Structure 1
């Protein structure tokens, strides 16, 4: 692919409004043409065989087949495309799993529109593109040996602490999202991350853990 070619892009994300918004941003750049959108991994896989895009943008957190599984399946096809993960998750595990699965880039949904297009353009040259803020995450992952964390809430962010409190109060994702002024998807990402950090497997375990580890006043 030469830089003068129009780059055909396909979007896979289960949020219609986000697809539309990103599609408009990318289409405004003369280097790109958005040739298709899909609301699920399977729909994206099917559509790509017909549209043959040069680049596929994939969300990580989707209902049904998630972004990582979608990416793995794409890599098993004969489609010659660049695969960029575009997500809200800046978790180390998600970044490493995506790179291991063959992602050509890992970008966050809160990046500036002009930065998004610049990174996508760079990815067409064969460079693996990473959101600037994630280079430190990757460096930490490479320098730190992988060890099983002890069950402690010391590693939780302030937001994860807030969500843990909400789980202990029995709130569902929608209620937590409303209370904290964030999206359901963001709540799910934070819950996934705090469960990983605490070595727990479910929100119920997290609620029980919080009750057991809260000092009695």
Structure 2
């Protein structure tokens, strides 16, 4: 099993790599510190599992881009507080497994093996919450004009200022690919054909930004 580790704290990433490499048929391919570096590693190498440290701020929209990139990499969140909403948000971003902050290295290795095999183990109250969230998502029709997320509103505001994707990425500390994804979602949710229409709309109707 070929594994990549994303850990902004180098000491954690390097230490975890040393603990895992060679155990339970695990081979560490690389340790990176940013999502952009993880994207590059997944694009250039055969990776089965990506471990992502969730004790540090992580852009879940950028994680979702990786999940839908077609690479088939299994994403596992490390260090989650075992709270329903956090786990549901991670599931929506594309994570298929997680370990809590109290987990051991052995439990992490087992979680990776289970995730690759398509198994997810979690407490009963968490699994119940996941099922309820899935039910609501599939039973309630999506309303026309779905609300913008906080990040999409930020992007729309900067579009209204006439900024390019590159300028928006620099302003918000995101990758250009992530900004393009947000712009696409904004145009789709507002039923607008072009970026120039979004610029005009936000200037005419600033309340769209919430």
Which stretch of the first structure deviates more once superposed, 33-42 or 112-121? 112-121
**Structure 2 residue aligned with 1:81, among 63, 73, 83?**
73
**Structure 1 residue aligned with 2:128, among 133, 136, 139?**
139
**Structure 2 residue aligned with 1:92, among 60, 84, 102?**
84
Contact 1:61 1:67 in 2 (8 A): no
2:23 aligned residue: 29
Contact 2:55 2:78 in 1 (8 A): no
2:33 maps to 1:44 = no
Residue 59 of structure 1: how far off its partner (Å): 2.0
TM-score of the pair, normalised by structure 2 = 0.57
TM-score of the pair, normalised by structure 1 = 0.55
2:55 and 2:106 mapped to 1: Cα distance?
24
Unaligned segments of structure 2, at least 5 residues? 137-210
Which secondary structure state, in structure 2, belongs to the residue aligned with residue 96 of structure 1?
A: helix
1:205 aligned residue: none
Runs of 4 or more above 3 Å deviation: 140-146
- Equivalent pairs, count: 135
Deviation per residue, 1:59-78 (Å, 9 max, x gap): 23445xx1522320112212
Whichever structure has more helix as a proportion of its residues is 2
Residue 87 of structure 1: how far off its partner (Å): 2.1
**Structure 2 residue aligned with 1:111, among 103, 107, 113?**
103
Distance 1:143 1:81, change over 3 A: closer
1:100 and 1:80 mapped to 2: Cα distance?
16
Deviation per residue, 1:31-88 (Å, 9 max, x gap): 100001110111111121112211111123445xx15223201122121211111124
Which secondary structure state, in structure 1, belongs to the residue aligned with residue 20 of structure 2?
A: helix
Which secondary structure state, in structure 2, belongs to the residue aligned with residue 11 of structure 1?
A: strand
After TM superposition, list the pairs within 5 Å mapping 1:171-182 onto structure 2: none
Unaligned segments of structure 1, at least 5 residues? 1-6, 147-217
